[in-house]
Structure formats: structure tokens, C-alpha cells
Amino acid sequence: MKRYRMEDYLEAIYNLSSGEDYVSLGLIASRLNISSSSTTEMIQRLYERGLVEYVKYRGVRLSRLGLVKAIRTVRKHRLLELLFKEILELNPDDYREVICDIEHLITDDIAEKLYEKLGRPSFCPHGNPIPNITGEFPCP
């Protein structure tokens, strides 16, 4: 399984569930614009790796390990959105696919450098909180 695809699923589950609730496979498939059968197959793989919990008729939610991995990806994505807006002076919404590609390529060390260079921001351009390196979110 390619890491970036796995990260896309974990990030989608996180965003759809706020990290805690169960999410239907149909909703995940819709968010990622992927067939239901492909989604079911990937969820099975994520389950086998201990990244999600599955309950029939309720859907999936992130395990502790899955949550850690999802938050790392979310952090990178939100930092990149801020980079595009504040430094590159580009609308991050116009470059969503590019940002989604880059988030899988940068390491945690690079994300931390970006976090520091951007002034340790608390929120992305959309107002969503940016977690720190340990996965903690800023207080509202």
C-alpha cells in the first residue's frame, strides 16, 4: 500500500469524524471520489495495520495509531496552506491538489521548520487549528 494513499484515507476519516466519531465507508468514498469497493479494500488494509477500528453498520474510526498518523498529515496540510497564502501569496484553495501532493513528501522535520518559519501559527487560512509537533492543538 502506498503511504500517501493511506495518509489520504486517514486524513479524510479524521476530517469527517473530528478524530473520534465513526464514519461510513460511503462518506469516505464520496470525500475521496473513489469507488465503494476500493474504499472497502483500503479500510480492510488499514484495519489490518491497526490504524482504524471497524464496527459493522457504524463504520470506521481512527485507532490511537491512526489518529497520530492522521494528525501529522493534517498538520502538514494546514502548514502548507499557510505557506501558500502568507509566503507565496497564492490562494491555497486554487492549489488544493498541489498541497495534497506535497503534504506526503515533506518530513516531520521539514514541517517543524516550516512551523517555526511561519511564526508557530495556531490556525490555517480556513480557521482550522494547526497541531504542534506532539499533536496538541492550540487552545481556543
CATH topology classification for 3-66: Arc Repressor Mutant, subunit A (1.10.10)
Longest alpha-carbon distance in the chain:
45
Q: Is the dihedral of CA 13, 25, 93, 88 positive or negative?
A: positive
> In whole angstroms, what is the distance from residue 85 CA to residue 110 CA?
18
Give residue 133's pLDDT.
Answer: 81
Name the pTM for this structure: 0.89
Whether the Cβ atoms of residue 87 and residue 115 lie closer than 8 Å to each other: no
Domain residue spans in the chain? 3-66, 71-117
Splitting the chain (140 residues) into consecutive groups of 10 residues, what average pLDDT does each group show? 86 86 95 95 96 94 95 96 96 94 95 95 94 79
Give residue 134's pLDDT.
Answer: 81
